[in-house]
Chain A
């Protein structure tokens, strides 16, 4: 060992040797020196041990830090999952509440009147319809049609009451006028007459219309079962003129109304 090299410089040289930082010749010279100098070999041994201790301590600390990072990450992920789940549960609860509230309100407010205002398709008179139209503007039916178009329903009712014949077309317009006037029992009587005259006269131009408006007359008159029978018939017959007016949603509301009234 060189006497002029202090311990610190010697230890630095040992470190350089252990880290393979010496050149090939320096390395070989150092190893030769170690073989001859047991004290130096001992020092190399000590420094190697202490250095290895620091290296292994460093690795342990890195693994521990990694453990903290990974477990924290797992906890954060679990918390995020729970928070996400909680958020979706809240949204789902709000949706369920709104649906239940909406259904509850719908159920409590469901009545023949509410169904009428939501789904009733009013009769729109045509200027020419059936053989009666050919008889000229002076007929009772045409006068009634004219008054109905002007929404003068009371006048339509008066003309019908005065009519001696009370023909099929007149009865149909009158039925709709009575419906508009809020006299469903009179409206029902008119529509029934339309249906019976249709059969008798073998003229079915107004039969299905009468059937549809008779169902509404029953409904307005709180004869829900009678109304339901007719609406059910229209709903199931896809060729019925008013089948598109009796949708599935309306059909189920009607069923619910039937159940509510029982």
Chain B
């Protein structure tokens, strides 16, 4: 791993889009923007913990938007991250009924399509709730599905890693997990389309 490697905005976007090794670009984002963004949150009545949470969420939103092809490079990565963090924090303050945001510092970083960004953040929040369904499947299902769909491991590899009695047992277990998950998605009218739209997998992947 190239620790401390500096990347251009184009390289960051390209690496995130490829989705193969997120650690390098994300590490770069932490090195370059963590202090500035967390300071901004702390200056606006946020605690250190709030600042860390907002920064984490900012990175999640940014990676999502880049992978969905919604970051077109009209503004710099720094401007975009600042806008995301600012909006996330404004939303959080609204929830807490504390509207005061010392905004002078962030104005220069606000991209023109703030309304679009607000919509994106609302969708992002809904998506996080949808993804929680995986959490509810239980630890075993979560592990198997992540290994198969995220790490792209074969059934044989999962069987070897999880020390099941046979590969068939893994296949059966995975089938049960998927059955459960699909059952939940389809039990709710309109949920499937909603989930597909939220995941927006048709665009980039």
Say yes or no: is A67 at the interface (Cβ < 8 Å to chain B).
Answer: yes
A67's partner among B56, B127, B146, B148 (CB-CB below 8 A) is B56
Complex: A117 Cα to B135 Cα, angstroms: 85
| Contact-size category for B | 35 or more
B188 at the interface (CB under 8 A from A): no
The yes or no answer to A36 lying at the interface (CB within 8 A) is: no
A61 within 8 A of B: yes
Q: Give the interface SS of chain A, mostly helix, strand, loop or mixed.
A: helix
Q: A8-B171, A8-B172, A47-B178 are in contact. Are A53 and B22 (CB under 8 A)?
A: no
- The complex places the Cα of A50 from the Cα of B195 at a distance, in Å, of 9
B96 within 8 A of partner (CB):
no
A64→B196 CA distance, assembly (Å): 23
Q: Is A139 an interface residue (CB 8 A)?
A: no
Nearest-CB residue, chain B, relative to A52 = B201
Of A54, A57, A64, the residue contacting B148 (CB under 8 A) is A54
Give every chain A residue within 8 A of B148 (Cβ-Cβ).
15, 51, 54
> A74 in the interface, Cβ–Cβ < 8 Å?
yes
Which residues of the other chain, B, contact A71 by a CB distance below 8 angstroms?
Answer: 52
Residues of B within 8 A of A54 (CB): 134, 145-146, 148-150, 181
A240 at the interface (CB under 8 A from B): no
Judge if B27 is at the interface, Cβ distance under 8 Å: yes
Cβ of A64 and Cβ of B131 under 8 Å apart?
Answer: no
Chain A residues whose C-beta falls within 8 Å of the C-beta of B150 in the assembled complex: 54-55, 57-59, 62
Is A49 in contact with B192, judged by CB distance below 8 angstroms? yes
Contact residue among A7, A46, A61, A66 (Cβ-Cβ distance under 8 Å from B186): A46
Per the 8 Å Cβ criterion, residues 34-84 of B in contact with A are: 34, 52, 55-56, 59-60, 63
With both beta carbons as reference points, the residue of chain A lying nearest to B152 in the complex is identified as A19
A53 in contact with B19 (CB, 8 Å): no
Other-chain residue from B22, B130, B152, B182 in contact with A63 (beta carbon distance below 8 A): B22
Give me 30 A-to-B residue pairs in the complex whose CB atoms sit less than 8 angstroms apart, sorted by A's number.
Answer: A8-B175, A11-B175, A12-B171, A46-B182, A46-B192, A49-B182, A49-B192, A49-B201, A52-B205, A53-B133, A53-B134, A53-B181, A54-B134, A54-B146, A54-B181, A55-B205, A57-B135, A58-B146, A59-B63, A59-B150, A60-B128, A62-B150, A63-B26, A64-B60, A66-B27, A67-B55, A67-B56, A67-B59, A70-B34, A71-B52
Residues on B lying within 8 angstroms of A by beta carbon are: 19, 22-23, 26-27, 30, 34, 52, 55-56, 59-60, 63, 127-128, 130-131, 133-135, 142, 145-146, 148-152, 171-172, 175, 178, 181-182, 185-186, 192, 195-196, 199, 201, 205
Give the B-binding residues of A (Cβ under 8 A): 7-8, 11-12, 15, 19, 45-64, 66-67, 70-71, 74
